[in-house]
Amino acid sequence: MSEYLLIPPLLNPEEIQSCSPSLANQLAACSYQTAFARDNRFDRLDRTNVFQLRGNVIHEITAEGPHKLRDVPDDDFKKEFDELWEKESEVHYQRLQKDWFPASVPHFTQWPEYALAKARTRKKVKNIIQKIRNSEGERRGPAVEEWLEDPQHNLKGKPDRIETWTDGTVAVVDIKTGPHQEGIKPEQRRQLIFYAHLWRVNENQIPEKIVIENAKGDRFYEDIQESDIDDVVTEVLELRESFNKVAEGNYESLATPSKESCQYCAYRTQCNLFWKTYREDWDGWRVSIIGQIKEIDDVVVLDVVSPSDMINTEVRFKKPDDFLFDISDQIVVIDAEKTTQTEIVKIKWDSLINDTPVVTSN
């Protein structure tokens, strides 16, 4: 097996001043990832993917659609909704093309479960419009996507919804775009309680429930106490402080590699601890490899360096159209697709070779 040659970069991330729930979750998952994300020399690595973009479209349309389509007559609703949806999808498709140039990216109509996501969102927007109409004249409607701030601790965030129910209960609601969401995950709990704190500061009211609503409209609830809110605030402030006091050149000490934190991390190619810890089964149907090129013809043969537990010490893939490497070069392949033959992988439109998208006729 050939030698492992990756030299980790010296990071110089921007200090964290203001903290949002998503930043707090990233810090909790792996603060080394945050160090990459806050060093603008690595911005080019932070590419979007079709799941994220499809989620963004659903999120935008769910937030804006009820206001834009509120006065549309029923007979025209489907047509006007579809126009709004496609316009938003086109914007995100262009972002995908830009991020992944020169790879040939799938059109938004080919994104996974595209038609289902559109139909579900159309139904959901219609239901929200109906709820808004029904709640007109009530004491307080739902607060939707308002920026909230805690100036004392420099925390801020924009919850999806804060609802005041008829019995006076205040609930923080997050709307998830994936249909397979069940229950409240630990990072979602942290995010929702973070919003509960912001609501407490801004409105002088303490939310008693956190709620996750999935794409099907199913809801999952948890009761919270004021002490839960205090605990999350303390945790977030400690995470920020620990990050900001790391000595220059020592950010690698913050790395916490695991299947959960690394699986979709944009900085895997640059992360030594990832490659030292990575196991083939972290990725399911995908695999990432550091390897030394042994043969190049129509097919490239790699001598595998990492993951060290790979069944085959040699792996081959069809040579991409723009492959410019030579025998003995060490390359990093990210997110190739596994095949039924364990020694063969496929380079897809969203695979990377040495941080760069490739042109492939696969």
Residues making contact with ligand SF4 (CB under 6 A): 30, 32-33, 36, 255, 257, 261-262, 265, 267-268, 271, 273-274
Taking the complex as a whole, the smallest distance from the CB of residue 48 to ligand SF4 amounts, in Å, to: 17
Shortest Cβ distance from residue 262 to ligand SF4 (Å)? 3
For ligand SF4, the closer CB: 224 or 262:
262
Nearer to ligand SF4, 39 or 145 (CB): 39
> Pairing between strand 299-306 and 314-318?
antiparallel
Nearer residue to ligand SF4 within complex by CB, 160 or 335: 335
User: In the numeric block, which tokens belong to residue 116?
Assistant: 């289902």
- Is the distance from CB of 172 to CB of 159 less than 8 angstroms? yes
Minimum distance from residue 42 beta carbon to ligand SF4 (Å)? 10
What is the closest distance, in whole angstroms, from the C-beta atom of residue 73 to ligand SF4 in the complex?
A: 49
Beta carbon nearer to ligand SF4, 114 or 274: 274
Bridge pairing between strands 209-213 and 170-175: parallel
For ligand SF4, the closer of residues 26 and 214 by Cβ is 26
**Calpha distance 291→325 (Å, rounded):** 12
Question: Residues with Cβ < 8 Å from 351, sequence gap 6 or more?
Answer: 333, 334, 335, 336, 337, 357, 358, 360
CA 179 from chain centre, in angstroms, equals: 16
Query: How far, in Å, CA of 12 to CA of 47, rounded?
Result: 20
- The distance of closest approach from Cβ of residue 140 to ligand SF4 in the complex, given in angstroms and rounded to an integer, is 41
| Closest to 172 (Cα-Cα) out of 229, 128, 238, 231 | 229
